[in-house]
Amino acid sequence: MKHLLYTLCIALLVVSCKNETQSTPKDSLMPKEVTKTVATKTYPENITKVFDAHGGIDNWNALQALEFTITKPTGKEVTTVNLKTRQSVITMPNHTLGFDGNNVWLNSKNEEAYKGNPKFYYNLMFYFNAMPFVLADNGINYGEAKPLVFEGVTYPGIRISYDNGIGSSSDDEYIVYYNPETFKMEWLAYTVTFNTKAKSEKWSFIKYGKWQTIEGVVIPDTLTWYVVEDNLPVKKRNDLPFTDVKLFKTALPVSTFAKPETAEVVE
C-alpha cells in the first residue's frame, strides 16, 4: 500500500509540474506533521475500553501539542510538549529545561544549582499528565495484573512493560487500574529504574481521582500520591493539580524547544 501511494503521489507531482511550475513554501521552523496511516493499531480490548472512556485514541492522535502548569514551593513550572516528537521545554523560576529531539539541555537563570536529574525529569510530569493515552506508544506490551482492592472497590489491572531499548528506562513497569463499570482510569502503579537500570519490585501509587475534558479528551486534573506499605496504597500523601492545561491541534515550532546559546547539553 505504501508503494502504491508513493507511486500515485509521484505521478500526480509529474502531471502538476507539466502544467505549471510552483514554488512550495518552506517552513523550517515547523516540525513535520505526522500523517495517519491506513491501518489502525490494534490494542487489547481492556486498554481500548480505557482509551474510549477518556475520549478515544483517535481524538488523542489528532492532537499535536500539550501545555500544563504545576505549582511547587519554588514557583510555577510550565511544561510544553510536541506530542508526536516528544520535544519538550519546562520553564521554571530559576531554570529552563528542554529536549530538542536529540539532546536534553539545561539553562540556569541565576547562580542557583538545579536540584535533580534533568534527563530523568524532563518528561516525567508529561508522562503522568498524558495518561492513559501515553500508554498507546509503540514498543509497549500489555498483560494482566492482579486487581487492586481499595476501600471495598476492586479495580482490574493492566500491566504495562516495554521492549528493550524503548525510552531511557525500558525496565520501568506500570499498572493501570480502571473502574470496572466506567472503564475510566482510577489508579497508576509504577516502578522507577532510571538510576539502577534493572527491574524493581518497589511500586509507587497515584490516585487519578479528578479529570478534566479538553478538546474532546479526558485528561488528569489532579494527581494524588499515596503512602505505600507492602506494595499497596494505604493513605493519601499529597495532591498535585495541573492548571492552565491546553491541547493544540497544530504542532508548535521547533524553535520552541531549541537549546539557547546560554544553555548546556546534559550528558
The predicted pLDDT at position 194 comes to 62
Of the two residues 231 and 4, the one the predictor is more confident about is 231
Of the two residues 170 and 22, the one the predictor is more confident about is 170
Question: What residue ranges in the chain does DSSP mark as E strands?
Answer: 65-72, 75-82, 88-91, 95-99, 104-108, 140-150, 153-162, 174-178, 185-190, 204-214, 217-229, 232-241, 243-248, 264-265
> pLDDT confidence of 42, banded at 50, 70, 90?
confident
The model's pTM is 0.81
Domain extents in the chain: 45-265
Model pLDDT for residues 213-260, shown as the tens digit of each residue:
999 999 999 999 999 999 999 999 999 999 999 999 999 999 999 999
Q: What is d(CA 92, CA 246) in angstroms, rounded to the nearest whole number?
A: 18
Q: What is d(CA 228, CA 85) in angstroms, rounded to the nearest whole number?
A: 34
> pLDDT confidence of 34, banded at 50, 70, 90?
very low
Place of cell 482509551: 51
CATH 2.50.20 fits 45-265, yes or no: yes
Mean pLDDT within 122-133: 96
The predicted pLDDT at position 72 comes to 92
The predicted pLDDT at position 235 comes to 96
> pLDDT confidence of 119, banded at 50, 70, 90?
very high
Model pLDDT for residues 134-164, shown as the tens digit of each residue:
999 999 999 999 999 999 999 999 999 988 7
DSSP 39-81: SPPP--HHHHHHHHHTT-HHHHHT--EEEEEEEETTEEEEEEE
Q: 201 vs 172, 188, 208, 235, CA distance in Å? A: 10, 15, 22, 20
